[in-house]
Structure 1
Amino acid sequence: MLLFLDVDGTLLPFGSARPYPSYETRFAAPSAAAGHPLLNRIDPALGARLTALDCELVWATTWMDDANVCVAPWLGLPALPLVDWPDEDELSAPLHWKTRPLVAWADGRPFVWVDDEITGADRTWAAAHHPAPALLHRVDHRHGLTDADFAVIEEWLGRNRARP
């Protein structure tokens, strides 16, 4: 099972009217973190929670290599594979521009995609074009991944691991 992981709005919350907590990491803070002043909004405990999901974590973010340079060490994660986004001139509206590349990257494998920009159009398109189970789970960008999000993901993973 794959888990495609966005950063902005998923791990790194933004857009709330309330102040965000500021975290310190017990892991070796990357020197590159100084270039990303909002990194301390990411709860380092999310790393262990993501690892406990027991699936292949893949960066699905515009952070590209910075996800492995800054975010992975902050979370105590190893370097993860990352989706290399194709250069496309035309937008795939109403689909999110990540939808087609993620389905292609999954290559028929079951996957979870967590992002703050997923819509019903993305879910419908993935269901019609991807032969394996897929959970496209929208996260509230104001809060990032929450206990409720993890409950949905864990339930889906458990149900779909049981399938032959």
Structure 2
Amino acid sequence: MVKEELKKLGLHYLVLELGVVELLEDITKDQRLELKKNLSKSGLELMENKKSILIEKIRNVIVEMIHYTNEIPKVNYSDYISEKVGYNYTYLANIFSEVKGITIQQFIIIHKIEKVKELLIYDELNLTEIAYKLHYSSVAHLSNQFKKITGLTPTFYKKLKEKRKQSLEDL
């Protein structure tokens, strides 16, 4: 999609990756507006603000790390994010908090709890296995975070889903 839009505008790129385009030439104001308009029609956004781009990179690293990899890295999240994004973690953490209004750690916890919910619903792993898979120090730690974020215990959450499923089957 992005490739086609650049081609239509006669723009040549050196790098075209998910979320990043490096052009070989300068882009005119009209080309920029046209690209922005055409990308938004497809639900894409042209980000020009360096902070927004950095936040999006951090967000993508976290989402990929928690939701789309089979094994969450065993290194500190701060080291992992810093290495993937290519900036000092303190700098990233300050910008993230300033723009998003929450810390990177809070963002990670929210996503880990979403992953726990998903794993509970699939019912393939028990709580001990989920805690291990997501690198919680204990089931108690996972349960405390889960309750803090959702207001429910993992066991109660799972029972709610089972009751809902039974109710739907009775229709």
The alignment's TM-score, normalised by the length of structure 1, stands at 0.26
Q: Which has the higher contact order (CA 8 A, sep 6+)?
A: 1
The alignment's TM-score, normalised by the length of structure 2, stands at 0.25
Give the number of the structure whose residues are more often strand, by fraction.
1
**Bigger Cα Rg:** 2
